[in-house]
Amino acid sequence: MEIASVTFRAAALAAADRPTEPFPHVVVAGRSNVGKSSLLNWLFRRDLARVAKAPGKTRTVNFYLINRNMYLVDLPGYGYAKAGRGLREQWGAAINAYLCDDDRIAGVLCLVDVRHGPTPLDLDLQALLARIGLEREVVLTKADKVGRGPRAAMQHRVRAELELPSPPLAVSVARGEGRGELLARIDSLVTSWRSSERRQ
Ligand code: GDP
């Protein structure tokens, strides 16, 4: 797939405030500073998502209408709140309710920094997604920050640790690596969501 059009809509997550179209949602999640805004701007080829915001400031949920037939949903980053507060408390009830209840969610892109691997809050997210039964696609960000060897080792480690069917994709916005593969994985989440919708 390619992104031909993007329309930005900020929104709250209460059921009444979400976009109403029956389009699939691909949700993008990760800890603050993982490179989420940079990655979204890179996919859009436009600076719509703010980069390098003050840590922990962005609490809005941003819905981006893509190609007039799907949404990319940018959730607030986690991990800057006081130590000891879990993902559930940081994100709050609205995000949990959205992830649990909205049957338009085709999958969640879980961004993880290639240098650090999954943090405890990343593992909380994985557990939450497993409990809800949502599809996930783990993406290692900032791949240019490590050499080939450490990158491959982290892909191997994360695949084993998170029990993924295949190694996670590693992308670099700085070097422009992995954009096509990432779009293909988004497309595949959306395609399987559409075919399961048809079966119902
Ligand atoms: P967010 O908090 O997850 O939205 O993260 P940002 O997109 O604001 O990125 C955090 C920092 O990481 C910024 O300084 C970005 O320039 C930097 N960054 C993001 N992606 C990459 C990348 O692919 N390579 C490198 N080297 N730096 C990156």
**141-154 tens-digit pLDDT:** 999 999 999 999 99
Cα(147)–Cα(157) distance, rounded to whole angstroms? 15
Amino acid at 37: S
pLDDT at 113: 98
The residue ranking higher by pLDDT, 9 or 4, is 4
- Ligand 1 site, residue 145, Cβ cutoff 6 A: yes
CA of 123 to the centre of ligand 1 (A): 21
User: Is ligand 1 within 6 A of the CB of residue 144?
Assistant: yes
pLDDT at residue number 200 = 67
* Residue whose CA is at the smallest distance from ligand 1 atom 17: 35
* CA 32 to ligand 1: nearest atom: 2
Nearest one of 141, 134, 95 to 118, comparing CA atoms: 141
Written as six digits, the tokens of 60 are 């809005």
Arithmetic mean of pLDDT over the chain: 91
Domains of the chain: 6-199 (3.40.50.300)
Q: Which residues of 35-58 are buried (b: 16+ CB within 10 A; e: fewer)?
A: bbbbbbbbbbeeebbeeeeeeeeb
Find where tokens 């405890």 sit. Answer: 120
Per-residue model confidence (pLDDT) at position 59? 65
The CB of 38 under 6 Å from ligand 1? The reply is: yes
Per-residue pLDDT, averaged over 79-92, amounts to 79
Residue 115 pLDDT > 80: yes
Q: Which residue has tokens 């797939």?
A: 1
- Residue of 51, 78, 111, 172 with the most ligand 1 atoms within 8 Å of its CB, for mutation: 51
Q: Which atom of ligand 1 is nearest to the CA of 49?
A: 4
Cα separations (Å) of 145 from 5, 17, 38, 171, 175? 30, 39, 15, 11, 10
Which of the four pLDDT bands, split at 50, 70 and 90, describes residue 128?
A: very high
Q: 33 CB under 6 A from ligand 1?
A: yes
Position 61 scores a pLDDT of 85
Q: Name the H helices within the chain.
A: 36-44, 87-101, 120-132, 148-161, 179-199
pLDDT digits (tens, 9 = 90+) for 23-67: 999 999 999 999 999 999 999 998 887 754 555 555 678 899 999
**Residue having the nearest C-alpha atom to atom 19 of ligand 1:** 35
Residue 189 has pLDDT above 80, yes or no: yes
Both tokens of 199, joined, read 């079966």
